[in-house]
Amino acid sequence: MSAPYQAPLPFMRLALEQAARSSGWSDVGALAGSLELLEPVLEGAARLAREVLSPLNGVGDAQGSRLEAGTVRTPPGFPQAYRHFREGGWTALAAPEDVGGQGLPLLIGAAATEMWAGANLAFAMCPESAVGAIEALRRHAAPALRERYLPGLVSGESTATMCLTEPQAGSDLSDTRTRAEPDAEAWRLYGRKIYISWGAHDLTEDIVHLVLARTPGAPAGTRGLSLFLVPRRVAGAGGAAVLNDIQVVSIEHKMGIRASPTCVLAFGDRDGARGWLVGERNDGLGCMFTVMNHMRLGVGLHSTGVAERALQLAHAHARERIQGRGRDGSPQPIIAHADVRRMLLGMRSLTHASRALAYHAAAQLDLAHCQAAPDRERSAQRLALLTPLVKAWCSEVAVEVASLGVQVHGGLGFMEECEASQVYRDARIGPIFEGTNYIQAQDLLARKVLRDEGAALEALLADIERAARSAAGTPAGTLCTELPRECERLRRATRALIAARPAPARLGAIAHPYLHWLGIITGGWQWLLSLEEISVQPDAWPESLARAVRDGARFCRARTASAPWWNTAPRVCWRPGSRSPEARQA
């Protein structure tokens, strides 16, 4: 048994601080005032993650959720854990106060979101959907609907799902066939949806499904889709709650996140599933994007948690596993091997960059909510640019870090009972769901970069170049010169693309490598911001963290530099017994 998940509080605080400072978040009184609650939130979330969620992670993997006589049973302990979660007020953390939430900024909620996934990704996915659903209902639903359903979502008495995918349609929503027929009271829905995460479970009585469907006479394609709220329970004849016409057809057997029931749901197999329109007819996709953009940021945060967990497990194993002897003949742990340290540093370099980038996006979301124009537009523009990047890049980082984590474990990492192997399997969902990474890449390049002729990108590159200038002279070393060089290359390449107006298919071939490139650049940027943060407030951080940041930034440079990186392994890797961050924590 591995030690339970420990939230990496020093690194989280650092990422929060740099996100708040670099985005301008800390200059907004309404946001910065909430920082006095930061420590209790971090400590409380860390405790719940460590004591309640993490111990269930292996059980959830081994037993999975099961479908028994039309009902989904989650693994032992999950209902109790959810009760803890709900009673602790964690479902209400970042929900607005006007609907009963605690109204904390999303930036603060981001750290908690990361923790849930680091401790137990399958569990974490359940409350995450509600966050987006709350926002979508607040923005798009009629008052009566809001009053009826928001309190339950905020208090955690109900959970939410997104029902988009259909068997014949996959990522392409234009072929959605689920239909909604007008009914005396509201609407009746008929259709089948697949890949519904937490589509049925025993954690709560009610579930709020947000369903894309087509109304009679609606235009073809995605412009004919409307969004419906379809609850698990509706009022029956006498006013008492009865089950709506939704059947769980099956749940998937997946290679990871096995505790999270992924359902095939049949709506309206009997007399139609009762539903209520959210937003305008035929604007369903627009409303759903409110949920999806939240979820995509959520995938970035969750992926960071998964990568962090892989790092923790590998780090603990590397310190504990004795193998061979040092020069003095004493038994030595495998962390003494330069290659093990290289892998651990690589894992940290990617994980911290992923975290800081995702937090930066969360800060922009707060800003977009509370600023006045034109600042609000600037933040919204930055958020729109970063959302697909965070979803795709962080999820790929998690897959890579999880694979390195298995490698550090050697043969043990291939065993089912080793949590590192679970993390490797769990992590693989990130690049697939909530819009495949190809969809994210197309969104990034075609809609977020080219449509405004590179304006949002240019603002980002300018920020990065500014950070590099102000870090010149710090221990960042060559990162300060290499990052601006990469920015300039990306800028020139983007301008060439804008001028060439390539066909969509050509953009499609370029999109993913382009996203990956921008991910590496922004990851390097986040390490620069970390360096800046510890330089600005040298006394605010423990020296061990400051050292880890200096090492991490140097290591990260190896990624950013376009030169072959074989010779850039920093000295911390090849000096056994040196004060590497990995060795120091031992």
Active site residues: 434
Q: Does 484 bind its own copies (CB under 8 A)?
A: no
DSSP-based three-state secondary structure for 277: strand
Helix 375-409, helix 419-427: angle, nearest 10: 140
Give CA separation, 40 vs 309, 316, 330, 360, 528, in Å.
22, 27, 43, 21, 28
Candidate ranges 31-39, 96-104, 410-418, 459-467; the one touching its own copies (CB under 8 A): 410-418
Q: What is the H or E stretch that residue 514 is in?
A: helix 504-536
> Binder to its own copies among 191, 199, 275, 431 (CB under 8 A)?
431
Q: Does 369 bind its own copies (CB under 8 A)?
A: no
Q: Does 406 bind its own copies (CB under 8 A)?
A: yes
Candidate ranges 46-54, 127-135, 378-386, 501-509; the one touching its own copies (CB under 8 A): 501-509
What does the angle CA 39 – CA 41 – CA 47 come to, to the nearest 5 degrees? 100
Which residue, 209 or 512, is less far from its own copies as judged by CB? 512
Q: What is the H or E stretch that residue 263 is in?
A: strand 262-267
- Minimum distance from CB of 411 to its own copies (Å)? 5
What's the one-letter identity of residue 443?
A: D
> Binder to its own copies among 5, 82, 149, 433 (CB under 8 A)?
433
Q: Does 586 bind its own copies (CB under 8 A)?
A: no
What's the one-letter identity of residue 338?
A: A
Write b or e for each residue in 255-288: b if 16 or more Cβ atoms lie within 10 A of its Cβ, otherwise e.
ebbbbbbbbbbbbbeeebbbbbbbbeebbbbebb
Q: Does 499 bind its own copies (CB under 8 A)?
A: no
> Binder to its own copies among 149, 267, 393, 424 (CB under 8 A)?
424
Tell me how far apart the alpha carbons of residues 329 and 497 are, in angstroms, rounded to a whole number: 60
- Minimum distance from CB of 485 to its own copies (Å)? 11
- Minimum distance from CB of 257 to its own copies (Å)? 8
Q: Which of 470, 461, 476, 491 is nearest to 561 (CA)?
A: 476
Which residue, 204 or 580, is less far from its own copies as judged by CB? 580
Chain centroid to CA 309: how far? 14
Tell me how far apart the alpha carbons of residues 96 and 91 are, in angstroms, rounded to a whole number: 11
Residues numbered 253-312 forming contacts with its own copies, rule: CB under 8 A:
253-256
Confirm if 65 and 72 have CB atoms less than 8 A apart. yes
The 8-class DSSP code of residue 188 comes to E
- Minimum distance from CB of 22 to its own copies (Å)? 25
Q: Does 560 bind its own copies (CB under 8 A)?
A: no
Please spell the DSSP secondary structure of 209-226, one letter per residue: EEEEEE-TTPPSGGGGEE
Which residue, 289 or 438, is less far from its own copies as judged by CB? 438
The DSSP bridge pattern shows strands 158-163 and 206-214 to be parallel
Helix 543-560, helix 338-370: angle, nearest 10: 90
- # residues contacting its own copies (CB under 8 A): 78
Candidate ranges 115-123, 281-289, 375-383, 426-434; the one touching its own copies (CB under 8 A): 426-434
Tell me how far apart the alpha carbons of residues 504 and 515 are, in angstroms, rounded to a whole number: 16
Q: Does 501 bind its own copies (CB under 8 A)?
A: no
DSSP-based three-state secondary structure for 459: helix
Candidate ranges 120-128, 135-143, 356-364, 558-566; the one touching its own copies (CB under 8 A): 558-566
Q: Does 506 bind its own copies (CB under 8 A)?
A: yes
Residues numbered 435-464 forming contacts with its own copies, rule: CB under 8 A:
436-438, 441-442
What's the one-letter identity of residue 131?
A: V
Q: Does 415 bind its own copies (CB under 8 A)?
A: yes
Q: Does 492 bind its own copies (CB under 8 A)?
A: no
Q: Does 59 bind its own copies (CB under 8 A)?
A: no
Binding mask 146-165 for its own copies (x = CB under 8 A): -------------------x
Write b or e for each residue in 538-576: b if 16 or more Cβ atoms lie within 10 A of its Cβ, otherwise e.
eeebeeebbbbbbbbbbbbbbbbbeeeeeebbbebbeee
Q: Does 71 bind its own copies (CB under 8 A)?
A: no
Residue 453 contacts by C-beta under 8 Å, 6 or more apart in sequence?
498
> Binder to its own copies among 322, 462, 536, 586 (CB under 8 A)?
322
Tell me how far apart the alpha carbons of residues 134 and 111 are, in angstroms, rounded to a whole number: 19
- Minimum distance from CB of 416 to its own copies (Å)? 4
The 8-class DSSP code of residue 73 comes to E
Q: Does 87 bind its own copies (CB under 8 A)?
A: no
Confirm if 163 and 90 have CB atoms less than 8 A apart. no
Q: What are the backbone angles phi and psi of residue 573, rounded to the nearest 5°?
A: -75, -40
Residues numbered 167-206 forming contacts with its own copies, rule: CB under 8 A:
168-172, 174-175, 194-195
- Minimum distance from CB of 194 to its own copies (Å)? 8
> Binder to its own copies among 137, 189, 334, 529 (CB under 8 A)?
334
Chain centroid to CA 410: how far? 28
Which residue, 535 or 568, is less far from its own copies as judged by CB? 568
Q: Does 507 bind its own copies (CB under 8 A)?
A: yes
Candidate ranges 18-26, 336-344, 366-374, 524-532; the one touching its own copies (CB under 8 A): 336-344
> Binder to its own copies among 451, 469, 495, 575 (CB under 8 A)?
575
- Minimum distance from CB of 35 to its own copies (Å)? 39
- Minimum distance from CB of 575 to its own copies (Å)? 6
